[in-house]
Structure 1
Amino acid sequence: MFAADALFALPPDESSFHDFADALTDLVPAVEGNVHRLRRAPDDAGEVASLFRALHNLKGDAALCRFAPGVAIAHPLETLLARVRAKEMPFDGAMAETVLLALDRLELTVEALVRGDTQTAPGNLRLPALIAGLERLAGAPPAQIPALALEVIEQVTGFRPTHLDDGDEPPAPRTPTVPAAPAGPQQDDLQFFRSLADRFEARSPRYAGRTERQRDLALDINADAGQPVPPAQLEAAVYLHDLGMMLLPDPLWLRPGSLTDTERQALMRHPEDGAGLLARMPGWQAAAEIVAQHHEMPDGRGYPHGLKNGAIAPGAKILAIVDAFEAVMLKHKDRGLARSTLRAVAEINACENQFAPEFIAPFNRVMRRRLERPGE
């Protein structure tokens, strides 16, 4: 068993590690593409061979820069794919989800080390449990592998995956939400705010359905938590939290990928633009506060003002989780893959130090209900 502190240390050659991190950014989408195609055609020998080579190269690159987590994760995955290539067992949905989860955790580990987070990330990512589980899988009899894969996923994420046979997580079903506001001026305002959100959404096909997904999830989390935020204020904040993005040049926020420091500084000003509009309208001060603070973090590392936990509005804490969850789902879509609700939930939990813990539990309960009742 690997100790978490042994896994969370920069390799001796930091330059080589940063090269590995850059290469991983390109390699992971290619590997995910292989996995996605294999879920559709599990007997495709060419795709099996391609995935095996990618994992072999990943292990080799990690070994060159002496990055222990990369080797520890890639080696048992490579062994599993060697067995699939030898036709000992099929490449099924449980195995596919395990490979993707392992890659997610590897990416998050690299990102944590690059930003210097060696304190909170190790416990959240549960790397020792993941690596031990992958090693068990690599040597298990073929008949035991599907069940063991599900156990590994549950141990690492806290969720047991369902509906893996067709290769895609089903879309999260809507659950009953709290009515936002009675008819009248407040409802008229909400309809106007929604029209602005629809304009934002229409700027790119990447955002199709985004507003409704975020509104429903935010209201469901709020309801599960005992409704600490007036629903109408939270709904208004969902509609206008990214209004400031529309004032930026399109390439700055419509394209996927990393930003320059100058672009990042411009982007970090967007919460105050949407908040400024709401603050000037009677009756929406609470929503304005939520919008202004939705990128703040409990530890003070957020923006635009570096507020800490007690100074952040409850609605902003909810919206931070909702916004991050949608961003992870969008990342999957940008890579040309089916959205994976399970993996997105697991990533939010792996980064839970970025969010208010009092709302992570309601988020998990809401998502568990959605994952357990597909199709409703």
Structure 2
Amino acid sequence: MSNSNTYNEPQIIDNDSLKDFTEALADYAHNIESDIAHLKRFPEDQAVIANLFRALHNIKGDAALCRVDLGVAIIHPIETILDRIRSGKLQFTELLGETILLAIDRLELAMNALATGKSVSSLKLGILAEELDGLSQARQVQLEILTHQLIQSITGFRPSSTPVSNNARKHAVSPRSESTATHLAFFRSLAQQYESRSPHFEGRTARLLHLALVTNKLAGEPVDPIQLEAAIYMHDVGMMFLPESIWLKPDRLNEMDKIALHAHPAYGAGLLERMPDWQEAAKMVLQHHETPDGTGYPKGLKQDQICSGAKILAIIDAFEAVMLKHSHRGHSRSILRAISEINACNNQFAQEWIEPFNQVIRHMIEK
């Protein structure tokens, strides 16, 4: 597995075997998450360490059986680390636990990408495997430095904390008039109605609003914050015009479901377009599922065809979705794993907004 092409362009021997391994990996991930959460509180619990080792050993065995060499390469050094902890040569640390979870998540991302014919070149799998190999041979005194280094490599955080767009051209900020405040209150009430449809959505609007406004501010506020606030409230209101069986569906969507789902930005945008002074917010809502590579919806826009507010909204909406995905599987709401997934999607998000967003997340972690 030393050839870099093996990580960037792994060969699929058999699609059915890939599916079997992917499903098995998802099943193991839940128990791995639970065991690591336990070990963060009780790091010397040998029974749980043994359970975790067996889970990793079984994943590696399944990968070998299904001829998924990439799975073997990623899991083998983690298995070695767990074996050293089991024998008392290493001690479990919280950061080590987070590193293991990052590796499992990155492997799941790779399997899902391969199953759908997508490239895995942006997932940094070669770096992950190399740094896990180094970690598997590390002494205890090196552990904290190496785990921190690996997490930084995979999440894509840069050491600099200087905003990349401090000199961005500022817009003319809309005045917050009495009618504006009334409209925003109405938009917020619609967002709260959407939130009430699922216990998993509790607090969602406030989280998205904070991430969007702070990211915009770090970049020099090139987007009108009042229009951005309206877009946050309204971007998913169109979901309520769809059957709940579609947007609360835990399983994969079929093609008909996807067609219906792709209509929701136009509903929210249509409401805003019919009100005075909210045209910019309407454009953000309509475009928030467009992607720089042109594979988004509803119009397949590319790069500069997409407005900046929609680009911000796309990133924070995806971040929240990843956090929700982990909560459905019993995962702790790991900020590090969510941000690593966002940084791995090179073509899905506007790169000029990734670094300001990373800074926001970095500040959250450091608090």
How does the TM-score come out when normalised to structure 2?
0.91
Give, in angstroms, the shift of residue 143 of structure 1. Answer: 3.1
SS at match of 1:42: coil
Q: Deviations over 1:320-367 (max 9, x none)?
A: 001001111112222223211122111110113200111112111222
SS at match of 2:331: coil
Q: CA, structure 1 residues 281+2, in 2 after alignment: closer, same or farther (shift >3 Å)?
A: farther
Matches within 5 A, 1:318-333: 318-333=312-327
The counterpart of 2:353, out of the listed 352, 356, 359, is 359
Q: CA, structure 1 residues 106+364, in 2 after alignment: closer, same or farther (shift >3 Å)?
A: same
Give, in angstroms, the shift of residue 288 of structure 1. Answer: 0.9
**Does the 8 Å contact 1:180/1:235 carry over to 2?**
no
Matches within 5 A, 1:33-182: 33-118=34-119, 121-122=120-121, 124-159=122-157, 181-182=175-176
Gaps of 5+ in 2: 160-172
SS at match of 1:352: coil
Q: Deviations over 1:194-236 (max 9, x none)?
A: 0111111122211111101101111111122222221111111
Structure 1 stretches of at least 4 aligned residues deviating more than 3 Å after TM superposition: 1-4, 158-161
Give, in angstroms, the shift of residue 251 of structure 1. Answer: 3.0
Residue in 1 that maps onto 2:18: 17
Residue in 1 that maps onto 2:294: 300
Give, in angstroms, the shift of residue 95 of structure 1. Answer: 1.0
CA–CA separation in structure 1 for the residues paired with 2:175 and 2:127 = 46
Residue in 1 that maps onto 2:206: 212
**Quick check: 1:249 aligned with 2:250?**
no
**Does the 8 Å contact 1:39/1:92 carry over to 2?**
yes
**Quick check: 1:237 aligned with 2:231?**
yes
Residue in 1 that maps onto 2:305: 311
Q: Which amino acid aligns with 2:259?
A: Q
Residue in 1 that maps onto 2:2: 2
CA–CA separation in structure 2 for the residues paired with 1:240 and 1:4 = 44
**Does the 8 Å contact 1:317/1:355 carry over to 2?**
yes
CA–CA separation in structure 1 for the residues paired with 2:149 and 2:306 = 37
Q: Give the aligned CA root-mean-square deviation in angstroms.
A: 2.1
Q: Deviations over 1:43-95 (max 9, x none)?
A: 22222121111111111111122222210111011111111122222221011
Q: Deviations over 1:220-260 (max 9, x none)?
A: 11122222221111111100111111122223223434222
Give, in angstroms, the shift of residue 98 of structure 1. Answer: 0.9
Q: Which amino acid aligns with 1:15?
A: D
Gaps of 5+ in 1: 162-178
CA–CA separation in structure 1 for the residues paired with 2:346 and 2:221 = 21
CA–CA separation in structure 1 for the residues paired with 2:34 and 2:174 = 40
Bigger drift between 195-204 and 179-188 goes to 179-188
The counterpart of 2:253, out of the listed 253, 256, 259, is 259
SS at match of 1:221: helix
**Quick check: 1:187 aligned with 2:181?**
yes
Residue in 2 that maps onto 1:173: none
Residue in 2 that maps onto 1:288: 282
Q: Which amino acid aligns with 1:212?
A: A
**Does the 8 Å contact 1:244/1:274 carry over to 2?**
yes
CA–CA separation in structure 2 for the residues paired with 1:316 and 1:125 = 24
How does the TM-score come out when normalised to structure 1?
0.89
CA–CA separation in structure 2 for the residues paired with 1:4 and 1:29 = 30
Q: Which amino acid aligns with 2:333?
A: R
Q: CA, structure 1 residues 270+222, in 2 after alignment: closer, same or farther (shift >3 Å)?
A: same
Bigger drift between 337-346 and 187-196 goes to 337-346
**Does the 8 Å contact 1:153/1:160 carry over to 2?**
no
CA–CA separation in structure 2 for the residues paired with 1:94 and 1:369 = 18
Bigger drift between 251-260 and 97-106 goes to 251-260
Identical residues among aligned pairs (%): 51
